[in-house]
Amino acid sequence: MSALAAGWPAFAGFAWPWMLLALPLPWLVRALLPPARGAGPALRVPWAGLLAGIAGPPGARRARSRLPVLAGLGWALLCLAAARPVAWGEAVHPPRDARELMLAVDLSASMGERDMLIGGQVVDRLAAAKAVIGDFLERRAGDRVGLLVFGRGAYVLAPATADLATVRSQLMATQVALAGRETAIGDAIGLGVKRLLAQRGGERVLVLLTDGVNTAGVLDPLKAAGIARDEGVRIHTIAFGG
């Protein structure tokens, strides 16, 4: 069974193989340099004899005989680590360029009309819109999505983010007439374009969901659409209603 099949990355070599040249260095130093002569103990203590007696049993002597082997093993492991072993793992794909999407959802009073069907049950328009947008968000993996709502005015609930669960949570918490009972479509387009232009590069898309015509706000929808066109923002309009 291969290393990858067993769940282990495959060894590919060393990033700095020249560090392995240091492996024989301690033995070369020992062989080439003359031993120190006339050197006394590194530390003189009055209880040296007692220490020698304690360290004198055969088991201790055998342990001391293993010290060169352990030191050599430690040096070899240090050299291997310094050579930076490299292993191949599973391929990591860089993230693709995400789209910047802004959802503009109508919360005017007419969105409370109960003329939609979900699973054979009659629901209001906003409930149906939440179901449709929720499914839409589940298929937006890799995109950054923001949410704004509009009625008499337009307001941002969530800036463009990859945390789609938060955007969906904000959407589900909305209520009819939360932003007023009228419909400011032009203001919603203008605010959506403004927020999209403040985001990083990428394809910018505004999805506008409404069930009526513009009845409030200061910006004419056609003028707002012209601004979006000039700024390279694509608008998808969705008419919602029975």
Per DSSP, helices labelled H in the chain are 25-32, 48-54, 58-82, 125-138, 164-172, 185-197, 221-230
* Top-tier CATH class for 100-239: alpha beta
Report how far residue 107's alpha carbon sits from residue 174's, in angstroms, rounded to the nearest whole number.
8
120-133 pLDDT per residue, tens = 899 999 999 999 99
Which tokens hold the place of 16?
A: 């700095």
The closest alpha carbon to 154, from 195, 125, 124, 200, belongs to 195
Between 117 and 102, residue with greater pLDDT: 102
184: confidence class by pLDDT, cuts 50, 70, 90 = very high
7-66 pLDDT per residue, tens = 566 777 888 888 889 888 888 887 887 766 655 555 666 766 666 666 555 555 555 566
Q: What is the mean pLDDT of the chain?
A: 84
Q: What are the structural domain ranges in the chain?
A: 10-88, 100-239
Helix (H/G/I), strand (E/B), else coil: 162: coil
Which tokens hold the place of 169?
A: 């949570």
pLDDT of 213 > 70? The answer is yes
Report how far residue 113's alpha carbon sits from residue 239's, in angstroms, rounded to the nearest whole number.
14
- How far are the Cα atoms of 133, 179, 239 from residue 127, in angstroms, in the given order? 10, 16, 15
What number of other Cβ atoms are within 10 A of residue 3's Cβ?
12
pLDDT at 6: 52
Predicted TM-score of the model (pTM): 0.61
pLDDT at 1: 45
User: Which residue has 């919603």 as its token pair?
Assistant: 188
